[in-house]
Amino acid sequence: MLNLPRSFAAIGVVALCATAGWAAPFVTLDGTIDGSDTYSAFVVDNYVFGAINEDLQDYHASALDIDTVYFAQYGDSRYAGLTVDPVNHTAMFSTSGSPASYTGQTALNIAFYSTLPDPTAYPPALPSYYLNLVFSATGLEQGLLIEYDLANNRKITTDLVLHFTYENNGQNFQFNSDIADMYEIGTGNGLEIRLSDDLFVDRDASNASYFIAQLDDLGGYQDDQIVGHLPEPATMSLLCLGGLALLRRRRRN
């Protein structure tokens, strides 16, 4: 589950768009994010927490320090990418936690909101939907897409790995072999994800443009977390060279 923060430090993080509007991305989902991948928007994590240089942080050595998150939407799919370690840009995304990981796993949670959540609220606000991924050295072990349909008082959980969908009102539990074809995940020097709109109940991605991304080593290292806002397509071109005010914090286990 996503561990939402109780307090954040306010910082400036630059949000740039690779192309104006939600342009068609050319994304090869091999986990290698480079010049051949065109994402529509990205947010850079340039915050230094408690140190002059980020390489003084204990999570730096774990290759779990978020560098940049990427987003795009094209056709019937949504794309997200993530790279790690702003100090050593050749670092690989770690699927097996850190040297201090109790389980040898890495967890990534991305929650999307229609409005900026209050970081001091407890319990935290429910996101429109969030994605929980758990990796190990052998690959993806858990993948949950959880969507909140508040208008109908439903929580819909789609298990990407075991291929079933469950609604919390108990009226719908079904297996669906097609789920395997509705997403792709690649890891390498980063992490890349494609989700088909067919996985979602509410397919309007523009109503959830705020996000919280958390990278967790499931162990003794600090988790790294970034909060941001993606501009709507109509205003994307106006913000290509602008900065957005973001909130940021790191949590110790």
Distance of CA 120 to the CA centre of its chain: 21
- Within 10 Å of residue 202's Cβ, how many Cβ atoms? 16
Task: Please state the domain extents for the chain.
Answer: 9-119+180-251
Q: What is the pLDDT of residue 46?
A: 65
**Prediction pTM value:** 0.78
Q: What is the pLDDT of residue 110?
A: 93
- Largest separation between any pair of C-alpha atoms in the chain: 54
Q: What is the pLDDT of residue 252?
A: 38
pLDDT tens, per residue, the chain with 253 residues: 444 332 222 222 333 333 333 445 578 888 888 888 888 888 887 655 544 455 445 565 566 788 889 998 888 899 999 998 766 667 788 898 877 788 889 999 999 998 887 767 788 788 989 999 999 999 999 999 999 887 778 899 999 999 999 988 767 888 999 999 999 999 988 899 999 999 987 766 557 889 989 888 887 776 788 888 886 654 443 333 233 333 333 343 3
Residue 230, Cβ density class (10 Å: 0-12 exposed, 13-18 middle, ≥19 buried): buried
Sign of CA dihedral 128, 117, 187, 166: negative
Backbone angles phi, psi at 56, to 5 degrees: -85, -10
Q: What is the pLDDT of residue 3?
A: 41
Backbone angles phi, psi at 221, to 5 degrees: -80, 160
